[in-house]
Amino acid sequence: MVPSKAEHLKNVAERARAIMEKENVEALVASSCENFYYLSGHPSTFMYTLRMNEVALAVMFRDPSRRTVIIMNEFEAAGVPADLPECELRTYPTWVDVDDPLGLRGGNYEGRRPVNHQVQEMFGLLGQVLAEHGIGGGRVAVELNSMRYPAVNALREAVPGLEFTEAGAILTELRALKTPWEIAQLRKSCEYAEIGIAETIKGIRAGSSAAEIADAFRLALLTHADGSSSRFHMISVGAHFAPAHIFDTRPGQPGDLIKFDVGVDVAGYGSDIARTFVLGTPSDMVKRIYSALRAGHDRLLELIEPGLPMKRAFDEVMPLIRRSGLPNYNRGHLGHSAGLSLAAEEAPFLSPSEETVFRPGMVICLETPYYGYGVGSIMIEDMVLVTDNGCERLNKLSRDLISL
Show contacts with its own copies in window 200-259 (CB under 8 A): 211, 215, 218-219, 222-223, 227, 229, 232, 234, 240-246
In the complex, least distance from residue 306 CB atom to its own copies, rounded to whole angstroms = 22
> 10 Å Cβ neighbour count for 215?
15
Using the rule CB under 8 A, give the single segment among 201-209, 297-305, 369-377, 383-391 that binds its own copies: 369-377
Residue from 67, 75, 86, 360 touching its own copies (CB under 8 A): that is 75
d(CA 194, CA 217): 10
DSSP states along 232-265: EEEEEETT--S--SS---PPP-TT-EEEEEEEEE
Residue from 6, 198, 204, 342 touching its own copies (CB under 8 A): that is 342
Q: Do the Cβ atoms of 218 and 197 come closer than 8 Å? A: no
Residue nearer to its own copies on the CB measure, 11 or 44: 44
Angle at which helix 5-23 crosses helix 180-201, to 10 degrees, equals 120
What's the maximum distance between 2 C-alpha atoms anywhere in the chain? 74
Number of residues that bind its own copies (CB under 8 A): 87
Instruction: Reduce the DSSP state of residue 224 to 3 states and report it.
Output: helix
Residues with Cβ within 8 Å of residue 295, at least 6 apart in sequence:
320, 321, 324
Question: 316-353 burial string, b = 16+ CB within 10 Å, else e?
Answer: ebbebbeebbbeebeeebbbbbbbbbbebebbbbbbee
150 forms part of the interface with its own copies (CB under 8 A): yes
Residue nearer to its own copies on the CB measure, 96 or 131: 96
Residue from 135, 147, 159, 237 touching its own copies (CB under 8 A): that is 147
Residue from 18, 24, 79, 302 touching its own copies (CB under 8 A): that is 79
Residue from 14, 95, 136, 400 touching its own copies (CB under 8 A): that is 95
At CA 177, angle to CA 145 and CA 352, rounded to 5? 65
Residue nearer to its own copies on the CB measure, 35 or 146: 146
Residue nearer to its own copies on the CB measure, 1 or 102: 102
d(CA 308, CA 306): 6
End-to-end CA distance of the chain: 40
Residue nearer to its own copies on the CB measure, 35 or 62: 35
In the complex, least distance from residue 371 CB atom to its own copies, rounded to whole angstroms = 5
65 forms part of the interface with its own copies (CB under 8 A): no
Residue nearer to its own copies on the CB measure, 53 or 387: 53
In the complex, least distance from residue 301 CB atom to its own copies, rounded to whole angstroms = 21
Nearest alpha-carbon partner for 126 in 182, 164, 80: 164
Residue nearer to its own copies on the CB measure, 243 or 254: 243
Instruction: Fill in the DSSP letter of residue 3.
Output: P
Using the rule CB under 8 A, give the single segment among 16-24, 169-177, 294-302, 349-357 that binds its own copies: 349-357
Beta bridge partners of 275: 260
373 forms part of the interface with its own copies (CB under 8 A): yes
The site string for its own copies over 303-332 (x = CB under 8 A, - otherwise) reads: -----------------------x-xxxxx
Residue from 132, 206, 343, 396 touching its own copies (CB under 8 A): that is 343
Tell me which residues in 99-118 interact with its own copies (CB under 8 A).
99-102, 104-105, 108-110, 112-116
Q: Do the Cβ atoms of 274 and 259 come closer than 8 Å? A: yes
In the complex, least distance from residue 134 CB atom to its own copies, rounded to whole angstroms = 28
Pairing of strands 335-337, 363-367: antiparallel
Tell me which residues in 258-287 interact with its own copies (CB under 8 A).
267-268, 285
Q: Do the Cβ atoms of 299 and 215 come closer than 8 Å? A: no
Tell me which residues in 35-64 interact with its own copies (CB under 8 A).
43-46, 48-52
